[in-house]
Amino acid sequence: MKVVITGGAGFLGKRLAKALLAKGHLTGPDDVKTEITELVLFDIAPSSELTDDRVRYISGDISDKATVKKLIDENTASIFHLAAVVSAQAEEDFDLGFRINLDGTRHVLEAARALPHTPKLLFTSSIATYGGPLPDVVADETAQMPQTSYGTAKVMGELLVQDYSRKGYIDGRSLRLPTISVRTGLPNKAASTWASSIIREPLCGRDAICPVSETTPMACMSPAKIITALIHAHDLPAEAFGATRSLLLTGISITAGEMAAAVERHKGNRQLGRIVWEPDPDIQKIVDGWPRATQSARAEKLGFQKDDNLDDMVRGFIEEDLEDQLALYSSRS
């Protein structure tokens, strides 16, 4: 069974690849448990971190139609489409955002459509698809009204996955992900990057800049629960999704101030870096338009896991990722 992960060299892509290799199998297009024999990790930046014989790295541009068509060939049974330009970057560069986030998604769908069989395709959407006046807790019935180009492209991606599935071209499913915290790596141009950096950097003894106020809430979900959700969504039978192939995931509400306090609680004998509060009106505006919390009764009914509290999320980072994060900083010094 050949599985393709677009954005395979990114944070989620790498974690998903490791989880799939450990699992060793997925439910194939015919809903039969099938061994993963080839895992292709596609990204704009080349990488070679995983040395498993089943892994193949391919670098290229998701917005190049010919490249994507070659990537998703007749042997491809499943596709995890994670590749995207992040929120603030898509807002700054309108053309780049839609070229990658919309045109790239369309190329993936068209390549899947051309296959002689119906592949499974999982699309990562975002709670950035919501906006405008929102309830305290966004639920399954809350209407999507994106206030950014990133969120708009994600809504259009969801609708395309829905329609291509309706036509029988793919067996698609889309997950609206809350903000992922705590991410490893370095700060990026995502408007939500602070939700990881103000935990990650101080615990590594480095200063972090937070561009939003201490009272700013964010709907968050841990990396471990996200990866579990991606695989669970892939393996569910199509009929489980009912009329819509898009699904909201439950994310707990955490403020920037609560994140800072959690770092203090879990510092142990570490020398913490500082959290520097530097308001950025553009970032604050984007984040203020996103859900403060999400609650999906539908996801819970379908067996998706959720996080219990912030302290578990911080402990998870310390136990699973802190050493790798410190090694990353050391390699760059």
Please write the tens of the pLDDT for every residue from 3-21.
999 999 999 999 999 999 9
List residues bridging with 277 in a β-sheet: 210
Class of domain 2-180+220-252+292-308: alpha beta
Reported as half-sphere exposure (CB side, CA atoms, 13 A), residue 239 has a value of 2
Percent of residues, the chain, with pLDDT higher than 90 = 87
Return d(Cα 118, Cα 77) in angstroms, integer. 8
Q: What is the pLDDT of residue 331?
A: 83
Q: State the helix-helix crossing angle for 310-320 and 322-332, rounded to 10 degrees.
A: 60
Return d(Cα 147, Cα 286) in angstroms, integer. 8
Count CB neighbours of 61 within 10 A.
Answer: 16
Beta strand pairing status for 179-180 and 120-126?
unpaired
Q: What is the pLDDT of residue 260?
A: 97
**58, 71 contact by CB (below 8 A):** yes
Q: Which of 132, 180, 138 has the alpha carbon at shortest distance from 294?
A: 138
The per-residue pLDDT of the chain, averaged, comes to 94
Return d(Cα 16, Cα 227) in angstroms, integer. 6
Query: Is residue 30's pLDDT more than 90?
Result: no
State both tokens at 333: 């010094």
Q: What is the pLDDT of residue 284?
A: 93
- Sheet architecture: strand order including 246-248: 55-59, 38-43, 2-6, 76-81, 120-126, 171-177, 246-248
Query: Is-catalytic flag, 150?
Result: yes
SS3 114: coil
Return d(Cα 95, Cα 153) in angstroms, integer. 12
Cα dihedral 313, 318, 319, 322 in deg (nearest 10): 130
Q: What is the pLDDT of residue 118?
A: 96
Q: What is the pLDDT of residue 210?
A: 95
Query: Is residue 48's pLDDT more than 90?
Result: no
Query: Is residue 330's pLDDT more than 90?
Result: no
Return d(Cα 331, Cα 110) in angstroms, integer. 40
Kindly tell me the burial class for residue 270, based on how many C-beta atoms sit within 10 Å of its own C-beta (0-12, 13-18, 19 or more): middle
Annotated domain spans of the chain: 2-180+220-252+292-308
Q: What is the DSSP letter of 269?
A: T
Distances (CA, A) of 209 to 49, 330, 331: 29, 20, 22
Is this prediction's pTM over 0.85? yes
Q: Look at 132 and 154; give whichever has higher pLDDT.
A: 154
Among 130, 150, 164, 169, the one annotated catalytic: 150
